[in-house]
Structure 1
């Protein structure tokens, strides 16, 4: 550990994630004080505080991992945060994170928000792929850099306290889209003599091959030219929509997971974007 590392911290919240975080810091030799709203077994070696105020008073670095923004505010309300460095690892929206940053700062603390890109079993496990987006106070981030790197890799995305939540939710949104496509695909083959176990590797390989398409979308958004590098334009892609709908009908599968995106594609073509890729859909969503 570096000379400026603070080897003690407090954790508010002992759910599955909070407990995993506590165990990772304990295993790394940190002194950890914990508090939970309801009775729950604390990780071995942790000091258990009777109240949230006692837990906050115990250490400069206070990590919060609770249910939601409202529970964070309810827990910290009325507690002296002067000189405290509050790291919020509770899932929230960008606006909630920014407002919480102002709320914490007004009470004398520094604030850093985090978006955990992992499940509890990945926390504290080397090379698990776990990482955390952080945004907010650059000084807080620098002061506690060693401590923050213990549970998972760290990606600091800027001084705007809302950015960590925005990155987190943006990536989760992309994941839901992938899950939606997979659910539709499994539904299509569900009534046939096709093994989902044997089908899954084919679908995953195709999803991985198509994932790189996002690089092209990013480049087009940056340049403003949605026809840049287009091989299959939107007009061509939308002709496939009819086949997708008819196949779903033949297989007795609802197209409701695909319809919103197909409708946006068709709307963009109707507005004159037939020679583009599907990047123009981004603009439709932002109207």
Structure 2
């Protein structure tokens, strides 16, 4: 289910929402709710962080219990689920949450999301898990992207409030770990790419090329990736790995050139050596004519 923030928000009375956690993202969430005219209560373990949201019109609660009691919908955005547990699972907050809805937008693993959902069910707490996929400045704008998983009816009920965060909201299904799983897989793409970019900059600089000189060409490489993602996703799901025109043996040769040049300059090649090892194992199993995405089978082999 995918929808934008175009659905109407009831105007008969201001909606009430509580935000627990006021780091940069938590403050952005609170600001978006305030800007949407919602009665917004905020709380943070470090009281000083409530100053900015309060100046914008939020109510700063003295305790987490007080903050929870102010709204039927509680949005949690803290460092991880250890931090979330330290707030939600302690009395008297846990008791105050009974019958209320928690939307947890903290980042962690799918297993932690499932564990939290089980705890919530045992304690009479209605629970949605979620992941914010765009940076802080996008919150409250059309560029925001938020993913959710959990009970579909609870998601639909919560949407009039959540729409204040702007952008696109997508319900990924009722299995509670799906939002966190999407989050981790997509961050895997991002951080692997950032590691590649950092290594490429080091290699280029060693050869007398500045990062600014390299950047336009790197953007050209990035521009071809969407079509590659689409094509190889279909192949991976179908379990076929065509390598016509670009077999994995070509990848092996290319990676070898990068490794040898990097090591000649004293540049660390740990990440590339790991990738090379995966590729060489695929070739060693007799699949050298296949495409690169066969590596997924090698990675999953463990």
The interval holding the TM-score normalised by the smaller chain is: over 0.9
Q: Does 1:220 align with 2:235?
A: yes
- Distance in 2 (alpha carbons) for counterparts of 1:121 and 1:2: 23
Runs ≥4 residues deviating over 3 A: 1-6
- Distance in 2 (alpha carbons) for counterparts of 1:73 and 1:95: 14
Aligned match for 1:157, one of 160, 168, 172: 172
- Distance in 2 (alpha carbons) for counterparts of 1:57 and 1:230: 62
- Distance in 2 (alpha carbons) for counterparts of 1:31 and 1:3: 13
Asked if the contact 1:114–1:165 (Cα under 8 Å) also holds between the matched residues in 2, the reply is: yes
Deviates more, 1:163-172 or 1:66-75: 66-75
Query: Alpha-carbon deviation of 1:26?
Result: 0.3
**Partner residue, 2:256:** 242
**Partner residue, 1:266:** 280
Structure 1 alignment gaps of length 5 or more: none
- Distance in 2 (alpha carbons) for counterparts of 1:18 and 1:254: 37
**Partner residue, 1:194:** 209
Q: Give the secondary structure class of the aligned counterpart of 2:276.
A: helix
**Deviation by residue 1:226-247 (Cα, 9 ceiling, x = unmatched):** 12x6321112321223322222
- Distance in 2 (alpha carbons) for counterparts of 1:7 and 1:97: 26
Aligned match for 1:179, one of 194, 206, 214: 194
**Partner residue, 1:90:** 106
Query: Alpha-carbon deviation of 1:133?
Result: 0.8
**Partner residue, 1:61:** 73
Asked if the contact 1:184–1:257 (Cα under 8 Å) also holds between the matched residues in 2, the reply is: no
> Please, what TM-score do these two structures have when normalized by structure 2?
0.89
- Distance in 2 (alpha carbons) for counterparts of 1:211 and 1:249: 31
Q: Does 1:19 align with 2:34?
A: no
Asked if the contact 2:61–2:67 (Cα under 8 Å) also holds between the matched residues in 1, the reply is: yes
- Distance in 2 (alpha carbons) for counterparts of 1:73 and 1:10: 17
Asked if the contact 2:20–2:64 (Cα under 8 Å) also holds between the matched residues in 1, the reply is: yes
> Please, what TM-score do these two structures have when normalized by structure 1?
0.93
Aligned match for 1:108, one of 109, 115, 124: 124
